Structure 1
Amino acid sequence: MSLLQVSHLGVFYGKVQALQPTSLRIESGQIVTVIGPNGAGKSTMLNAIAGALPTLGSQSGEVVFDGQVLTGKTIEHRVAAGMSLVPEKRELFATMKVEDNLLLGSYRRYQVGEKNYADQMQVVYDLFPRLQERRQQQAGTLSGGERQMLALGRALMAKPKLLMLDEPSLGLAPLIVKEIFQIIQRLKQTGVAILLVEQNARAALQVADYGYVLETGSIALEGAASDLAQDQRVVDTYLGLAKK
């Protein structure tokens, strides 16, 4: 049984259909990427899976996660089931210390009475040594790359089974992008599955096991990431100018 099985997921904003009925699946420990142009519906799909759509959105289809049907469930319920979303805007608390931002990621575990709710802190610091160095700094003083690391670290504090990343490379310098994708590869070794929405198709396909190409709200192509990276349509549309 797949860790995540999404079936015929469609999203409307009023009368506008932002996402055509879409199906995808993720196995435990797998990295799956969704690539495509701006406005294709990638973030909409991710937010629908996470239960984070704004109130004006409506959706159809089914989301089954770790054997539970999550259709219609709140984002809090989905986090409790083992999903964590790192949104495109990162949404950190700028005036709070780095360490306090991290602790907020484990709040649900604290709420349900887990005595070891902060046990992921050292795991996060091992992955992101710079966060440990800056743990007493305000989050708003961090660089763009460090803020992305903090957003990832905060999500990991919940001990997720599935980590959903919305455009983790957005707005970052090329060297930092390379570092972030190296970290994503390392995260796979911890056993967490990753659903990666990304415009940097070349980098995404290099780290992913499987990929989907989303265009104008529907899946245009899917397959093993290594196969998609060789597909002439993908090369011409998404990889041809990105010689990095």
Structure 2
Amino acid sequence: MNSHAPILRVNALSVRYGKVEALRQVGIEVKPGQIVSVIGPNGAGKSTLLNTIMGALPAAGYAKGPVFYRGEDVSAMPVEKRVARGMCLVPEKRELFSTMTVEDNLSLGAYRRKRAGEHDYLDQLEPVFGLFPRLRERYKQLAGTLSGGERQMLALGRALMGKPDLLMLDEPSLGLAPLIVKELFHIISALRRTGVAILLIEQNARAALQISDYGYVLETGELVLEGPADDLAKTPRVIEAYLGLVKKIAVE
């Protein structure tokens, strides 16, 4: 695959829930090694966008418009096959196994690779500990006993155990204290060096744009702005709507 070609391309994607149109003619691209953020208010359709890309749209939803991953139209492909091709979604609710240990949650992240016959399916364990030293400290602890920040770290770590090529993050900073948010965004930024492409859905527009290469603004199901993240952060409309009243969390 051409390194300049998008790993993910969505063309004119529309999604309906009954008569309610959640997304209208949305088009986005993510290139290998890029961090691309989609910002916007609650109810804009951001989570719907990620779920549609992942093939996890609820049965009540209807999607129209191709989703290309590595140049292949995966629109009709089930979630399991998309995961097998290197797509991964960390949902807003994190969906950890609370009654299982950190160790077991991380191992489950590599289960697909184990089932595929990869003998070194746990080879990402040390890199994950390098990113999240606290997970090493909590390795034998039940996931349900972790703090909110540690649970988000575990959700990210579990996703990375599968060696995804495209990592989609739905509101990773939700409900976390500012210092934890700063640490988390440092780590997400550092993931760029691994070559993984990241599509980031985030209400903390300032923090998201600071670490992103490119950004989109989604409002009431439509893209209203897009551009290089630095330029977008200087746009009057973005400053007024998303940055003006948000306390700055520097992640540089």
TM surpasses 0.5: yes
How far apart, in 1, do the equivalents of 2:73 and 2:84 lie?
Answer: 13
Among candidates 24, 29, 42, match of residue 46 of structure 2: 42
Show the counterpart of 2:155.
Answer: 151
Show the counterpart of 1:193.
Answer: 197
Q: C-alpha displacement at 1:32, in angstroms?
A: 0.1
Partner SS state of residue 94, structure 2: coil
What's the TM-score once normalised by structure 1's chain length? Answer: 0.99
Among candidates 235, 238, 243, match of residue 242 of structure 2: 238
Structure 1 residue 99 and structure 2 residue 71: aligned?
Answer: no
| Superimposed CA distance per residue, residues 127-162 of structure 1 (whole angstroms, 9 cap, x where no aligned partner) | 100001100000000000000000000000110001
Among candidates 161, 166, 181, match of residue 165 of structure 2: 161
How far apart, in 1, do the equivalents of 2:55 and 2:108 lie?
Answer: 19
| Superimposed CA distance per residue, residues 225-244 of structure 1 (whole angstroms, 9 cap, x where no aligned partner) | 00000000000010000132
Q: C-alpha displacement at 1:12, in angstroms?
A: 0.8
Q: Which runs of 5+ in 2 are unaligned?
A: none
| Superimposed CA distance per residue, residues 169-195 of structure 1 (whole angstroms, 9 cap, x where no aligned partner) | 000001101111001011111111100
* RMSD across aligned positions (CA): 0.7
Show the counterpart of 2:28.
Answer: 24
| Superimposed CA distance per residue, residues 25-74 of structure 1 (whole angstroms, 9 cap, x where no aligned partner) | 01100000000000000000011001111111110100111122101111
How far apart, in 1, do the equivalents of 2:72 and 2:124 lie?
Answer: 25
Q: Which runs of 5+ in 1 are unaligned?
A: none
Show the counterpart of 2:128.
Answer: 124
Show the counterpart of 2:63.
Answer: 59
How far apart, in 1, do the equivalents of 2:14 and 2:108 lie?
Answer: 31
Structure 1 residue 69 and structure 2 residue 83: aligned?
Answer: no
Structure 1 residue 226 and structure 2 residue 233: aligned?
Answer: no
Alignment length (residue pairs): 244
Show the counterpart of 2:182.
Answer: 178
How far apart, in 1, do the equivalents of 2:170 and 2:160 lie?
Answer: 15
Show the counterpart of 2:93.
Answer: 89
Show the counterpart of 1:134.
Answer: 138
How many percent identity over aligned positions?
66
Show the counterpart of 1:110.
Answer: 114
How far apart, in 2, do the equivalents of 1:24 and 1:11 lie?
Answer: 15
How far apart, in 2, do the equivalents of 1:159 and 1:83 lie?
Answer: 9
